[in-house]
Amino acid sequence: MITHNITSIKKSLPPNIKLVAVSKLQPLESILEAYHTGHRHFGENRPQEFATKHQQLPKDIVWHFIGHLQTNKVKLVTGKAQLIHSVDSERLLLAIEKEALKQGIQQRCLLEIHIATEETKSGFSWEEIPALTTSPTFTNLKAVTICGLMGMASFVSDPQQIRTEFQKLKQYFDHLKQSTFAHNPHFCHLSMGMSGDWPIAVEEGSTLIRVGSQIFG
């Protein structure tokens, strides 16, 4: 089933869009089944579970960290995840910067933007971004590369609401790309779309989709 699911999703994706197989809570055998189809990009959302799987699974897996990250767990993720999708505070950004400096590595990150109507989802509000991007933390970043934005749409059945939320995020991404990040060639990723809404996200400009249940059940 996993093999079938992952190959059929990849067949229907435009070639420039990357699939992150979200393997949270999945046993190693299930992840390996997906791996043996040739798939290499996997995503996890809990730091400890991520660190354990990172250690146990093949080294050519490209890991994405997509969950809420507390500053005291930054060590478990920095340098192991190729991309951290879920930077949602200045404090977290600073903690990742410090850890990456210590390790002597460059950590790629996305800024998570709160686009849903639900209060439970994390992320910066639009209003917070100008203050962040002009803060000393941000302007002094050396070991963190900001590669784009991530967002999660509301968990609703109305596809038009979901589409509108993705459209807003894409517009904001384009705006930042032309202004704040005009001189950052790495700012080119827009992580949006999950099992229930990725076809809409792809139509609205996503470059990275994060799919769990549609692959692993």
Ligand X SMILES: *Cc1c(COP(=O)(O)O)cnc(C)c1O
The residues that touch ligand X, with contacts defined as CB under 6 A, are 22, 24, 45, 66-67, 152, 194-196, 210-214
Contact 82, 63 (CB under 8 A): yes
Interior angle at CA 187, CA 199 and CA 22, nearest 5: 40
Nearer to ligand X by Cβ, of 35 and 141: the residue is 35
Write down the least CB distance from residue 158 to ligand X, Å: 17
Nearer to ligand X by Cβ, of 69 and 152: the residue is 152
Nearer to ligand X by Cβ, of 37 and 214: the residue is 214
Neighbouring-strand partners of residue 84 = 65, 109
Write down the least CB distance from residue 101 to ligand X, Å: 26
Nearest to 95 by CA among 150, 47, 143: 143
SS3 193: coil
Nearer to ligand X by Cβ, of 48 and 135: the residue is 48
Write down the least CB distance from residue 215 to ligand X, Å: 8
- Tokens at residue 216, please? 């692993």
Contact 23, 34 (CB under 8 A): yes
Write down the least CB distance from residue 66 to ligand X, Å: 4
Write down the least CB distance from residue 188 to ligand X, Å: 20
Write down the least CB distance from residue 210 to ligand X, Å: 4
Cα 166 to Cα 214: distance, rounded to the nearest angstrom: 20
Contact 214, 195 (CB under 8 A): yes
Count how many residues are written for the chain.
Answer: 217
Most distant pair of Cα atoms in the chain: their distance: 49
Nearer to ligand X by Cβ, of 96 and 194: the residue is 194
Nearer to ligand X by Cβ, of 152 and 190: the residue is 152
Euclidean distance between the first and final Cα of the chain, in Å? 9
Q: Alpha-carbon Rg of the chain, whole angstroms?
A: 17
Location of structure tokens 């067949």: 11
